[in-house]
Amino acid sequence: MRLFLFGIGNFVFMNYSAELKKFVTSQYVYSAIRITLATVLPCVVLAHFGILKDYFLFPLGTSFVALTDQPGPFIRRRNSLAFAIVCFNLVALIASLVMDFKALVLLEIIVFGMFFSLIGVYGQRLAAVGSLSLVVMAIFIDGHLTGSNILKSLLIFASGCFWFLFIFLVVSTIQPYKLASQMIGENYLQLGEFLRIKANFYQKNPDFNKLTSQIIAKQIEIKNLQEDTRETVFKTRTIVNESTTTSRLLMLMFLNSMDLHEKLMTSESDYQKLQKSFEKSRILVNIHDYLNLLSEEITNIGIALQSGTRAKPVFNLDEEVNKLNTRYLKLRNKHMSSQNLENYMILRQILLRINEITKEINEIYKVFSQNIKLAKSLSTGLDLRKFLPNQEKINFRVLKNNISLSSSHFRHAIRITIALLLGYLFSLFQFLGIGHTYWILITITAILKPAYSITKQRNLLRFYGTVVGAIIAYIILHFVDSNPILFAILLLSMILCFSLLKGKYFWAVLFMTIYVFMAFNFLSPGNIDIIFKDRILDTLIAGIIAFLVSYIVLPVWEHTQNLDLMKQSAADNLIYFESVISKFLKGDFDIEDYKVKRKNAIISLANLSDNFQRMISDPKNQQKKLEVVHQFVATSHLITAYTASLSQYSKNKEQYPEIDAQSWSRKIEAEMNQTSLLLSGDQIDETLKMESRLEPEDSFIENLLLKRKTEIEENDEFSDKINPNKMSHLAELKNIHDVLELIYDVAKEQRKVIEKYKAETTPPQS
């Protein structure tokens, strides 16, 4: 018992240790430390000479430019930082010149509010520049921080902006591969979490609905991260074109992560049937435990990539996988019969996939040996340009086309402009005692997002984080008098704030509030009570304004996006399936074409899933056809996963003439085409209905299976050895047949879901 408790405690400790390492080595902490040091070091120097209060705009400019630095290729990052500096200083200049003329201030809010919100059509990078430009406008709008010498203040602010650009150029020159390595490492960390969720399907009495939702949510995260990483790796010249060992190995590691993701998807099975078939055995629990070991190994690889160290295996995977195969063999020899043969075939297929994943992980570990021959021989044979994410080119036509109420970007620009106008007008009411106009405007800019669901969520998190952070800061400043301790708290709060800003908004706001309180205490000691009151009041006012505007002014509800996203997902899944089935039809397989179509299918599925998740946060009356859309998302996920499973047979050299691929292709594609036609509002051709009812000629497989069952009945003993990396031809045929049947069943179910969706959407005719 003591040994068992020790083992549990050790496992928990390892998990906490891994989580800490994941956080500490991440790009977010690395970036946060860089931003904090770039911001604080000048403050220390200025404070040493007693002029920090006069030059406070220097670190402010540094932090603003730093926050626009989004992960990506060096050239894009450098250009966006330069563009941010131009925008920030132009906005600061105009805001400072017109601050005494209220009519011009209102015009300024309208022009800047519309323009800097609309440039978000060019992607997240410029959207960040636009949002921070509005924050700069808020800072300079009332002259609270500029003082009487405007020119001096603007020069100080500009110097702070250029200071971060200088830091960025120096760090990027010293560590050109750091960001790419960290982002690739994060891909592996996400894959480790993905496998950990999948492992739970094999535990006792799993909650299938909950786990499916978690899988879909994780797919969204993986897709978004892969898109960012793909751009960083493929578009960074030093990564793609340099013949250095490091650049080639990083490229190999990223491509391996993509293939590993597919292998993890191919392990999709009928888990409910599996649980029922082996409920009296411990084999599924053994699989669950081994998958968790694999998850830890993938996590270990991710941490090593993030930290820039060489990864060493945590476990002896060969030994562990042999134990798992042996347990299966013993179970098979003891309990397999002609009645349950097919169940053991399914289990054998799962073990084969697990062995393939194990082999893949072992190969990835070999890459960490930094083998120069391996690096030099790396040739993907792929046209990498085809894998780059689509991005709008920066030209006026794109902006012009979005100046319409049909554009969600234009609607968002109107909302944020109206909200900023209301926030500014509110601050003019002196009887409310509002001391900091810019706090209201900054909070509105931070909270108000294009999607109502995100605005709603951020609103609550912003308020809770501000209140809790303000209380903690208030307590600290009342009981701590030591400036070195307060300075250490300031540094730690800044690092944690910038580290958590992307994923943990509540905690980011909490630590932001703490460091703001610390900063103002250093600048103006003794005003903590006023700062506390103003911070809470301004956040509350801004939150109310943002919520009302997002709900009332030209809202874009997520349900309006569902139909287009469903069409795209259905179309890309069909194309993906056609690419995979082509091996069975033509005997050849275009790996590059396949990977492009796999990428498109996964992206479309993630976009649809992401939209559905946001729709859940919309008001109840705007959650149109929620259950139907949920069913479509679930079936789309299964079609993608089962198609990925089928692709494993397309990529090997084996031929499967016994499979009636022609009939299966026509049958499945007929169902999927019917779904696409229903989504487009077109009539379904009777030919498609007929083809969907085709009966493939798979009697040869049934005969082989019957023959095998007869052999089992006549022979009580089975071979006590199996090849863990190879299945019998019959087992492969049976699994291909089962996967095709699963794809058809899910495609048929999806078609029925859309029939229901269209029936509920179409108004009855009078």
Q: What is the pLDDT of residues 492-510, one digit of tens each?
A: 888 888 888 877 889 988 9
Give DSSP secondary structure letters for 95-145.
Answer: HHHHTT-HHHHHHHHHHHHHHHHHGGGG-HHHHHHHHHHHHHHHHHSS-TT
CA distance to 71, 137, 433, 513, 534, per residue, from 466 (Å): 27, 22, 19, 6, 11
- Cα distance between residue 314 and residue 295, in whole Å: 11
Answer whether 455's CB lies under 8 Å from 548's CB.
Answer: no
Nearest to 261 by CA among 306, 310, 298, 311: 298
What SS3 string covers 331-385?
A: HHHHHCCCCCHHHHHHHHHHHHHHHHHHHHHHHHHHHCCCCHHHHHCCCCCCCHH
Residue 438 in tokens: 């810019």
Predicted pLDDT at 291: 93
- Cα distance between residue 7 and residue 335, in whole Å: 31
Nearest to 348 by CA among 738, 726, 736, 703: 726
For the chain, the residue count is 766
Amino acid identity, residue 401? Answer: N
Residue 56 in tokens: 């406070």
Nearest to 181 by CA among 23, 388, 27: 27
- Residue 549 CA to its chain's centroid (Å): 28
Answer whether 363's CB lies under 8 Å from 299's CB.
Answer: no
- Cα distance between residue 634 and residue 557, in whole Å: 21
Answer whether 77's CB lies under 8 Å from 83's CB.
Answer: no
Residues 6+ apart with CB under 8 A from 329: 720, 721, 722
Tell me, what DSSP letter sits at residue 69?
-
Residue ranges of the chain with per-residue pLDDT less than 50: 1-13, 379, 392, 764-766
Residues 6+ apart with CB under 8 A from 560: none
Answer whether 70's CB lies under 8 Å from 77's CB.
Answer: yes
Answer whether 736's CB lies under 8 Å from 649's CB.
Answer: yes
Residue 480 in tokens: 């701590």
- Residue 380 CA to its chain's centroid (Å): 25
- Specify the residue for token string 């435990």: 289
- Cα distance between residue 757 and residue 287, in whole Å: 39
Nearest to 631 by CA among 745, 762, 752, 763: 752
Strand, coil or helix: 169: helix
Amino acid identity, residue 152? Answer: K
Structural Rg of the chain based on CA atoms: 29
Q: How many CB atoms neighbour CB 531 within 10 A? A: 21
Predicted pLDDT at 163: 95
Model confidence, pTM: 0.78
Nearest to 302 by CA among 253, 265, 263, 259: 253
- Cα distance between residue 147 and residue 152, in whole Å: 9
- Cα distance between residue 660 and residue 438, in whole Å: 69
List the end-to-end C-alpha distance of the chain, in Å, as a whole number.
Answer: 73
Nearest to 541 by CA among 631, 621, 408, 438: 438
Answer whether 212's CB lies under 8 Å from 634's CB.
Answer: yes
260-274 in b/e burial notation, b at 16+ Cβ within 10 A? bbbbbbbbbbebeeb
- Cα distance between residue 665 and residue 659, in whole Å: 11
- Residue 478 CA to its chain's centroid (Å): 41
